[in-house]
Structure 1
Amino acid sequence: MTGVATALLLLLVGIGIPIAAALFYLGLALGELYAFLPPLPSLGDIAWSTSTEFLFVSIPLFILMGEVLLRAGLAEEMYRALAPRLARVPGGLMHTNIASCALFAATSGSSVATAATIGTIAMPNMDRFGYSRPLFLGSLAAGGTLGILIPPSINMIIYGVLADVSVGDLYLAGIIPGLMMAGLFMVAVWAICLVRPAAGGHGTEVERAPGAWRGLVMVAGLFFLVVGSIYAGFATPTEAAALGVLGAFALAAARRRLNAGVLMEAFEGTMRTTCMVMLIVLAAYFLNFVLTNIGLTRTVVAWVQGLDVPPVVVLAAVVALYFLLGCFMDTLSLMIATTPVVVPIMVAVGYDPLWFGIVFIILIEAALITPPVGMNLFVVQAARGGGPFRDVVVGALPFLVIMVAMIVLLALVPGLALMLPQAFKGGGG
């Protein structure tokens, strides 16, 4: 049954059918093959119950917040504030790329938006200061992935709903691994540039931009408004997203960038992204409904438990599976289609679903820079405006290695993810 489902999905995606349609078709086909009652009449109920999920309201709100900040010019100011402070470190502006991605991720919640925004701002510096093209491009592609690990994160919201895990706990669990990942990326750039000084260019010539620090302070303030309101007990994640939108509007107005043109562009971008995300979510919920009713999830969980292998072997197999699937599926589809099957398996062998959520997000990050369909690779290549695609792929490889190392570190020290959620609960929060 599992083999049939996997083969059908790969076939549908392979022949070029859009992923949302492929998930719908797969659900219909499995329902017919395994004599389940016709699933199509249930589609209306599934669409309604999914669309009225209160937590999903936060998705368009976080997208809108990022859109407004982008068009208000805060991302550019943030980059210009960091550049002169990091330019003298071996690796120069590649550290700025990663740090800017980490900071913008804390407001956009989207890896693709982060890579596109910072990539567009940073790209003119690559040849101007003589950086290694693959490493510079790789720092942007990998830095962009931090958008789904550092809260607030749209992918964490989806995982929380599908795995029945608190989104607030996921946000807390992602802070330390997210900052560590950004730090490890920067250490990797520093080490490579120590070994190969020519790769680090001559970024010490970056000029200071007076007043640019205000953009940095504003972005940090907005992050603490959104995340802090959740942990202060003042707001739910959805309400915090609404506060973030109001804060973004206030910052844009303070910079005199809040006009009809900016609003229309922000609303249009938000609608496009939200429609894409929610269509895939609806399709995945329909497929999960079918999988549950034909018993596939129960069958897979029972089969894994019957193998009688150590939990770490199951974890290693899941990591290998996601690296393989990440080569062929886009990240959102991969996440939504597999979460309801994989999470019960990991829980059955003894792993905490909150801890696994962070490992899972890192695996989704890796899929963003895994060729041939890694979305961030194409986003950075588009921002570059031409040149060999191979440069972006090669440049991302060292950062993939770091992601694997981070997963190993989390397996050895689970407290890196669980420390803050446990401390918060222990403190009466």
Structure 2
Amino acid sequence: MEQMIPIAIFLFVLFLLLGSGVWVGLALMGVAYVGMELFTSRPAGDAMITKVWASSSSWTLTALPLFIWMGEILYRTRLSEDMFRGLAPWMRWLPGGLLHTNIAGCTIFAAVSGSSAATLTTVGKMSIPELRQRGYPEYMIIGTLAGAATLGLMIPPSLTLIVYGVSINESITKLFLAGVIPGLVLAGLFMTYIIGWHYLRPGERPKPEPSMSFARMIKDSRFLAPVMALVFIVIGSMYFGWATATEAAAVGVIGALALALVQRSLTRETFFASLRGATRTSAMIALILMGALFLSLSMGFTGLPRALAGWIDSMDLSPIVLIAALTVFYIILGMFLDGISSVVLTMAIVEPMIRQAGIDVIWFGVFVVVVVEMAQVTPPIGFNLFVLQGMTKHEISYIARTAIPMVGLMVLMVVILVIWPELATWLPDNVRQGPRG
């Protein structure tokens, strides 16, 4: 196959650069530059400048740094302590007890963060000391937290969905709506796992929590009110068609700043620390996205994506078989690259394949996020594993073992999505969109 030579060259240069410690974004640009020089007559420098500018000046991409900043602001407030105080009264009566605060806390914070790492750090700071003090098994504390933190990639505002939408030029608002129901279903699977542990291993249950009056439960719920209001403003404004994703992000930042002011935790130091954190993360993701889009242009000139799509089409694979193959592919890729890099690196080749197979691109975005979530908790490059290691001082291997059941539940979620694709497509198809989607 004549396309094997470009493939071999692209892969060789990519792994050479990544293996030498070059930043992912610069490695992608390097691969693209080599491809342009070897396989096209167009000036590589001119093509790179044009593509990088076009990608970085996208209006849709404006939502990315805004959502990151919102999460950074909330991370530096008293939100984490307040969330536990508000959640604990309602979780304590469930089978599995306060372990459910890991799942519920990650679900709520994911809806105002968009980042798995920010979700993990915030909720972990809240729950790990409290659950240890109450005698819950260490492997359950860490395993459920590692898995539930990945909901930051699924539940809107998801940074991965923003990058996916920009990569394939699809509506960010539609993708956000598509992630809501699958995100809640996945959270439900995680909670079911905790309930199963409760009944299958009764000897590991801690002492029951002391009884609490309903009035006290209602009173403690006031600590959840601010963050729930922010969730409604951000997600609700998109759901009801009042705002696009970018506009909702701007409103979310204002809401987060107001919340921090009300809590009296917004100091000059906190404000500038959140700004620096958001700038660093946004710059990293933007560089990766620029490199990936330049690589897509370079590969397009070689005809490689079209050739691979045609090859897949000639094999006459059913959509289900193609999805199964892509699941394995992304799980393996996720062992070596972070989620956003995996998405942008592969879209130039994968997008023509899924369109050729008749797979809905909105549904596929949710599918990609689920399999990329697994990459967060699979060694050797599972980012959540490193974050948890820093927080708990456990070995990476131990943390990875505790997360194995959660990875299994994510695989089950892929199966559920294949059987019931409406979980991802119903909301985008039935909700009125904002003025620019």
TM-score, normalised to structure 1's length?
A: 0.94
Change (3 A) 1:205 1:115: farther
Aligned to 1:148: 153
Deviates more, 1:14-23 or 1:148-157: 14-23
CA RMSD of aligned residues (A): 2.2
Aligned to 1:102: 107
Q: Cα deviation per residue 1:215-251 (whole Å; 9 max; x = unaligned)? A: 3121111111112222333222111100111111111
Equivalent position SS for 2:188: helix
CA contact (8 A) 2:26 2:287 kept: no
For the pair 1:27 / 2:32, whether they are aligned, the reply is yes
Equivalent position SS for 1:148: helix
Q: Cα deviation per residue 1:348-382 (whole Å; 9 max; x = unaligned)? A: 11111111111011111111111111111111121
Deviates more, 1:195-204 or 1:50-59: 195-204
- The CA distance in 1 between the partners of 2:13 and 2:174, in whole Å, is 35
Deviates more, 1:25-34 or 1:290-299: 25-34
Equivalent position SS for 1:244: helix
Q: Cα deviation per residue 1:278-309 (whole Å; 9 max; x = unaligned)? A: 11111111111111111111111111001112
Aligned to 1:87: 92
Equivalent position SS for 2:246: helix
CA contact (8 A) 2:103 2:145 kept: yes
- The CA distance in 1 between the partners of 2:255 and 2:35, in whole Å, is 46
Aligned to 1:274: 282
Q: How does 1:276-315 map to 2 (within 5 A)?
A: 276-315=284-323
Aligned to 1:39: 44
- The CA distance in 1 between the partners of 2:339 and 2:72, in whole Å, is 21
Q: Give how far 1:91 is off.
A: 2.5
Aligned to 2:424: 417
CA contact (8 A) 1:86 1:96 kept: yes
Q: Give how far 1:35 is off.
A: 4.2
Q: Give how far 1:205 is off.
A: 5.6
Alignment counterpart, residue 73 of structure 1, candidates 70, 73, 78: 78
For the pair 1:218 / 2:226, whether they are aligned, the reply is yes
Q: Cα deviation per residue 1:309-344 (whole Å; 9 max; x = unaligned)? A: 222111111000001111111111111111222122
Structure 2 residue runs of 5 or longer lacking an equivalent are 1-5
Alignment counterpart, residue 117 of structure 2, candidates 86, 102, 112: 112
- The CA distance in 2 between the partners of 1:199 and 1:174, in whole Å, is 34
Aligned to 2:268: 260
Aligned to 1:328: 336
Aligned to 2:410: 403
Alignment counterpart, residue 397 of structure 2, candidates 359, 372, 390: 390
Alignment counterpart, residue 383 of structure 2, candidates 375, 385, 403: 375
- The CA distance in 2 between the partners of 1:365 and 1:212, in whole Å, is 32
- The CA distance in 2 between the partners of 1:268 and 1:214, in whole Å, is 31
Equivalent position SS for 1:155: helix
Q: Give how far 1:75 is off.
A: 2.7
Alignment counterpart, residue 137 of structure 2, candidates 132, 139, 160: 132
Letter matched to residue 75 of structure 2: L
Deviates more, 1:294-303 or 1:77-86: 77-86
Aligned to 1:363: 371
- The CA distance in 1 between the partners of 2:238 and 2:120, in whole Å, is 26
Change (3 A) 1:2 1:94: farther
CA contact (8 A) 1:327 1:370 kept: yes
TM-score, normalised to structure 2's length?
A: 0.92
Equivalent position SS for 1:204: coil
Equivalent position SS for 1:152: coil
Change (3 A) 1:221 1:8: same
For this pair of structures, how many residues does the alignment match? 427
CA contact (8 A) 1:75 1:104 kept: no
Q: Give how far 1:163 is off.
A: 1.6
Moved over 4 A (4+): 205-212
- The CA distance in 1 between the partners of 2:12 and 2:321, in whole Å, is 24
- The CA distance in 1 between the partners of 2:403 and 2:112, in whole Å, is 24
CA contact (8 A) 1:150 1:175 kept: yes
Identity over aligned pairs, percent: 39
Change (3 A) 1:92 1:28: same
CA contact (8 A) 2:239 2:432 kept: no
CA contact (8 A) 2:32 2:295 kept: yes
Q: Cα deviation per residue 1:127-175 (whole Å; 9 max; x = unaligned)? A: 3222222221111111110011111111111111112221111111111
Equivalent position SS for 2:379: coil
Q: Give how far 1:7 is off.
A: 4.1
CA contact (8 A) 1:75 1:215 kept: no
Aligned to 1:6: 11
Q: Give how far 1:425 is off.
A: 5.2
Change (3 A) 1:251 1:300: same
Deviates more, 1:353-362 or 1:28-37: 28-37
For the pair 1:339 / 2:347, whether they are aligned, the reply is yes
Change (3 A) 1:212 1:19: farther
Q: Cα deviation per residue 1:375-425 (whole Å; 9 max; x = unaligned)? A: 1111112111x1222221011110111111111111111111111122225
Q: Give how far 1:209 is off.
A: 8.9
- The CA distance in 2 between the partners of 1:308 and 1:89, in whole Å, is 48
Equivalent position SS for 1:123: helix
- The CA distance in 1 between the partners of 2:347 and 2:318, in whole Å, is 21
